[in-house]
């Protein structure tokens, strides 16, 4: 059973637009949701994360919106730049638990 689902599988936006990446999860006990960014040939790197006690987390152009009731979250990238072109993984975990469940990722392409 896939614990974390992401959509769309791939997304193309123009430079300056807002990219919206979606994520949903199965286990209502998850309380920590990091998003990882991965460029080709590199490992994933933590981009931004949110805890379930919050419904929004902002860091510059990156914002996570979290809906606990619906077990959904989304990553919004405003003013998208070509350098944002990467694969974005949503992940989920429990506090203090040494394991993360990852989605399949969304491949984002930003066209100049």
Check residue 89 for interaction with another protein (CB under 8 A).
Answer: yes
Query: Whole-number minimum distance, CB 14 to another protein, in Å?
Result: 26
Query: Whole-number minimum distance, CB 48 to another protein, in Å?
Result: 11
Check residue 49 for interaction with another protein (CB under 8 A).
Answer: yes
One-letter-per-residue 3-state SS of the chain: CCCEEEECCEEEEECCCCEEEEEEECCCCCCEEEEEEECCCCCCEEEEEEECCCCEEEECCEEEEEECCCCEEEEEECCCCHHHCEEEEEEEECCCCCCCEECCCEEEEEEC
Task: By CB under 8 A, name the binding residues for another protein.
Answer: 2, 4, 32, 34, 36, 41-46, 49, 89, 93, 95-96, 98-105
């Amino acid at each position: 059973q896939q614990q974390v689902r992401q959509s769309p599988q791939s997304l193309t936006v123009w430079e300056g637009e807002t990219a919206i990446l979606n994520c949903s999860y199965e286990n209502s006990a998850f309380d920590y949701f990091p998003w990882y960014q991965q460029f080709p040939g590199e490992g994933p790197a933590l981009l931004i994360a949110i805890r379930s006690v919050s419904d929004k987390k902002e860091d510059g152009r990156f914002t996570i919106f979290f809906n606990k009731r619906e077990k959904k979250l989304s990553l919004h990238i405003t003013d998208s730049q070509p350098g944002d072109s990467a694969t974005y993984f949503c992940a989920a975990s429990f506090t203090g638990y040494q394991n993360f469940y990852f989605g399949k990722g969304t491949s984002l392409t930003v066209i100049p």
